[in-house]
């Protein structure tokens, strides 16, 4: 993954350090979030993911199984810029194992058309 040191640095600064980002295969990236995700954390993760999406994967999987319930401000900070970047680069986004509150926030932001959902592990 190009510029991995920069991405690692960005993700490890701040309260949320439990982010696992890996390439599942050359055309797919999987990101798992764990623990609480505040608004600033969502912005930080969105910036790092935007950088990764620019490297050319066809699809990105966001696993929220171990993330605590995200407030709407965190959902917006993470997913609004992420969906814009994904659309610009032709990347399909799938949200895995999101809790009902996070799904409601995504629906409230009008992102249901831009995202796929799965209750399965990526």
pLDDT (0 to 100) of residue 47: 85
Structure tokens at 5: 């040191």
pLDDT (0 to 100) of residue 110: 95
Q: What share of the chain is helix, strand, coil (3-state, %, to 5)?
A: 40, 25, 30
Pick the residue with more confidence: 64 or 18? 64
Q: Which of 84, 76, 2, 92 is nearest to 43 (CA)?
A: 76
Residue 44 CA to residue 53 CA, distance in Å, equals: 14
| Position 38 confidence tier, pLDDT thresholds 50, 70, 90 | confident
> For the chain, what is the mean pLDDT?
85
Which residue bears the tokens 């990101």? 31
Strands (E), the chain: 19-25, 28-35, 59-67, 92-96, 115-118
Strands (E), 14-121: 19-25, 28-35, 59-67, 92-96, 115-118
Strands (E), 50-114: 59-67, 92-96
């Amino acid at each position: 993954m190009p510029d991995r040191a920069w991405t690692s640095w960005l993700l490890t600064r701040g309260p949320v350090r439990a982010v696992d980002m890996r390439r599942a295969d050359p055309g797919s990236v999987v990101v798992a979030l764990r623990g609480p995700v505040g608004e600033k954390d969502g912005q930080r993760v969105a910036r790092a993911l935007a950088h990764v999406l620019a490297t050319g994967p066809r699809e990105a999987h966001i696993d929220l199984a171990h993330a605590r319930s995200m407030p709407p401000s965190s959902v917006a900070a993470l997913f609004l810029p992420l969906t814009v970047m994904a659309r610009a680069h032709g990347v399909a986004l799938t949200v895995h194992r999101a809790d009902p509150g996070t799904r409601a926030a995504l629906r409230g932001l009008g992102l249901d058309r831009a995202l796929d959902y799965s209750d399965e592990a990526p």
